[in-house]
Structure 1
């Protein structure tokens, strides 16, 4: 494939792809390469929690918050706002009522900054059922399939 590139400036785009998938490289005269990865998923970088989050399974992603204040409308006891306007999880839910309020915060958030990194399958299934499965850091294969089915059903593709 390198022989088809007339200029030495033609380089493939960088990115971490799963080793099982070999993207095709298409070289264009302008000197850039484009990866076509049909039906393949790129490995996403790990989400970084904001430094003010308390330790636990729920967190607000660093640099993601738009200061919408929506989580405060349903779970004011679980969130606080940093002086720069970035919200963060100030208390991890410990009782079922708090878990319910935390999962409601997932539904009202504007851009998906609240995330779940825990291993509790019940909470994962609850979030998937609410259409928030993409906010879970680690989904097992069966739950990933369930998440895709729920999304397809919500989008009317099923």
Structure 2
């Protein structure tokens, strides 16, 4: 990956709707070689997909809850069941398996505490859990989907 690829990725991370000709102009390439580079980045799996980022507040999903989950079950059957449960709850927007005291960390988006309580009940009814701890975000200071490109 050279500087052109990094510049192209930086532009696409900010706005995937920028026309190829404009991307090429901004990085110093004509449209055709720029398009070929984008295609190669997609084929290589560096560009996974192009999406629209939505305004959570305008969609009445402005409350973010970080949920720490611990379990005493550490077997494949439980893992598959838990992962399936998480996939079935649209309010769970991120799910991480962790090292340390917490087994899983979830990011949940909802309109209010009542809606979160419904998610919480789905969680505790759908999986055998040792502990569930919830932290409500008071303010979002930084949010980005852009990955750092200096390590590529």
Task: Give the TM-score range, shorter chain.
Answer: under 0.3
Normalising by structure 2, report the TM-score: 0.27
Structure with more contact order per residue of length (Cα contacts < 8 Å, sep ≥ 6)? 2
Bigger share in helix: 2
Normalising by structure 1, report the TM-score: 0.27
